[in-house]
Structure 1
Amino acid sequence: MRAKAFTEALSSVQLENVFNPYADFCELHDRPDSAARRRQNLELSLSRALELNVRTMWIARDLGYRGGRRTGLALTDEMHLGSYSALFRGLPVEKATKGPAMGERTASTVWRLLARINEPVFLWNVFPLHPHEPNEPMSNRCHTARERNTCGEFFHAMINLLQPEKIIAIGGDAHRAVTNLGVNSIQARHPSYGGQNVFIRQIEAAYGLASEEAPSLFSQRVS
C-alpha cells in the first residue's frame, strides 16, 4: 500500500511545461492505457525494492523524453525493460507506448554497468517527472528550483521508504540538487557529453569491479 499511495500521489502533480508520465497522455506515442501502465511499472518496482531490501540508489536529475517519459522508470528506456525485469527478479514491467521501442544513450551505459553489478539498484530522479521546453514536448530541460521544491516531498518520501545505505548521484546537477534537498550522496560523472569512460571507472571502483575497456563510439554504432 505504501508503493500504491506514493504512485497515486505522484500522479496528481501537474506543472506547466512538465509531462507527468503517471497521469498525462502523449498524443504522439501513447496508447489509451499508457499512463496506467507507467503507474504500474513504478508501483511494482517500488514494492519489489522494498521486498528485496534494496540498499543502493542511483539518482539522476530528471526524466528524459526518450526514457522515463515513456517507461515511467528512471534511467530506463524501452530497450532495457527486459534487463530491468531481470534485475528485479522477473518483475513484470511493460512497454507503455505504441510503435517500436526507443533507446536512450544514458540508459544504455547505465544498464551495461547494472548488468555487471548484478544486484538490484533502485533508480530515481531528483525531479521525478519530465520537464520540457515550452511547446516542445520532445525536448529535455533542467527542472527549476521551484519545480524541485514542489516535488521535494516525493524525493524525501522515497528516501524514507527505502532507507538506502548508499546514494550515487549521477552528474553534477543531480548531486547539487540532492545536496540542496539535504541528502548526502556520492557524485559520479554523468555518462553523456564525453563523460562515459569516467562514469564507468567510478562505478567500477564503487562496486569493486574489474576494469573493462569502454567500446569506442564507432563500435557502438556498428554493433
Structure 2
Amino acid sequence: MNSIDDFVLRLSKKRNTSVIKNPYLDPALANNLRVYLNAIDQLNYKPVLLVGEALGFKGGGLTGIPFSSGQIFERFEHPFLEQIRPDLVIENMESENTATIVWEYLSERRITPLCWNAFPFHPHPKGNRFKNRAPTAKEMKSGARYLRSLQALFQIDTIVGVGNKGAQCAKKAFPDKDILAVRHPSYGGKRDFIQGLDEILFSRR
C-alpha cells in the first residue's frame, strides 16, 4: 500500500456482514474519503492523528469521513471543511453528537488533525444498521492494520487515542510509540476532551 488511492481501494473491498456495514462499498463515499485524505496530505504540516472508535450510522457511516456528519459542513465555518465541501457527495444532513463536539472544538481553534478510527467501518447489532455497537477485539485487531497503513502513509508522529477503544487500538498498533489519550467527548466527556486536547496540542508547541 503506497498511495491514498490504494488505501481507499483496500477499504472498499470489505464486504458487508450482518453486523458490519462498509460505507466504502458506495463509490461516492469512497471518493469522499479520498478527497478528505488528499486534502490532509496537502497540509503544510504533519497533523496530529486522532483515533476514535468506529464510524457511526449518523456520522461517518453516511459521509465516509471519520469524526464527521453531514451537518458539520453546514454548521461550522472551518477553512478545511469549506475547502473540501464542494468535492463531496453528502446526501444526508444528519447531526451526530461526537462529530459536532469535535468540529466545534476544531473550528474554534482553527486546527485540522487527521481523524481515523480503531475500526474503520460501521459495527452494528445483528441486522440493524441504524444502531451503533462497540467494535470487538477481533475487529479492532483488523482495524490496527489499517491504522498502521495510514500512519505509514502520512508519517504521523503524534497519535492520540480518543476514548478507551481508540487508545487501546493505537497502543496495540504502535507498541513502540508514546500514545497519548483523551476522554471521548460523548456521554459527559466534552469538558475533559477539550482540556485533554488543549494540553496535547498547545502545551507541546
Which of these residues, 169, 174, 187, is aligned with residue 193 of structure 1?
187
Matched, 1:168 2:169: no
Q: Is the 8 A contact 2:4 2:34 kept in 1?
A: yes
Q: Which residue of 2 aligns with 1:129?
A: 121
Q: Which residue of 2 aligns with 1:50?
A: 41
Q: Which residue of 2 aligns with 1:204?
A: 198
Report the AA paired with residue 42 of structure 1. Answer: L
Q: CA deviation at 1:165?
A: 2.1
For 1:151 and 1:14, the matched residues in 2 are separated by 15
- For the aligned residue pairs, the C-alpha RMSD in angstroms reads 2.1
Matched, 1:86 2:87: no
- What SS does the corresponding residue of 1:90 show, helix, strand or coil? helix
- What SS does the corresponding residue of 2:118 show, helix, strand or coil? strand
Could you list the per-position Cα deviations for residues 123-167 of structure 1 after superposition, in whole angstroms to 9, with x for gaps in the alignment?
A: 111110000000111111111122222343211110101111211
Cα 1:78/1:88, change in 2 over 3 Å: closer
Cα 1:46/1:197, change in 2 over 3 Å: same
Report how many aligned residue pairs link the two structures: 196
- What SS does the corresponding residue of 1:150 show, helix, strand or coil? helix
- What SS does the corresponding residue of 1:22 show, helix, strand or coil? helix
Which of these residues, 69, 75, 81, is aligned with residue 77 of structure 1?
69
Q: Which residue of 2 aligns with 1:4?
A: 5
Which of these residues, 2, 25, 30, is aligned with residue 39 of structure 1?
30
Q: CA deviation at 1:79?
A: 0.7
Which of these residues, 20, 23, 26, is aligned with residue 21 of structure 1?
23
Sequence identity percentage: 24
- What SS does the corresponding residue of 1:169 show, helix, strand or coil? strand
TM-score, normalization by structure 2: 0.87
For 2:83 and 2:57, the matched residues in 1 are separated by 26
Q: Which residue of 2 aligns with 1:61?
A: 53
Q: Is the 8 A contact 1:81 1:93 kept in 2?
A: no
For 2:61 and 2:78, the matched residues in 1 are separated by 18
Q: CA deviation at 1:15?
A: 5.0
Could you list the structure 1 runs, at least 4 aligned residues long, displaced by more than 4 angstroms after superposition: 82-85
Q: CA deviation at 1:177?
A: 1.8
For 1:104 and 1:68, the matched residues in 2 are separated by 9
Q: Provide structure 1 residue ranges, at least 5 long, that are not aligned to the other structure.
A: 24-34, 210-223
TM-score, normalization by structure 1: 0.80
Which one has a bigger Cα radius of gyration?
Answer: 1
Matches within 5 A, 1:175-190: 175-183=167-175, 184-190=178-184
Q: Provide structure 2 residue ranges, at least 5 long, that are not aligned to the other structure.
A: none
Cα 1:163/1:89, change in 2 over 3 Å: farther
Q: Which residue of 1 aligns with 2:145?
A: 153
For 2:122 and 2:64, the matched residues in 1 are separated by 10
Q: Which residue of 1 aligns with 2:110?
A: 118
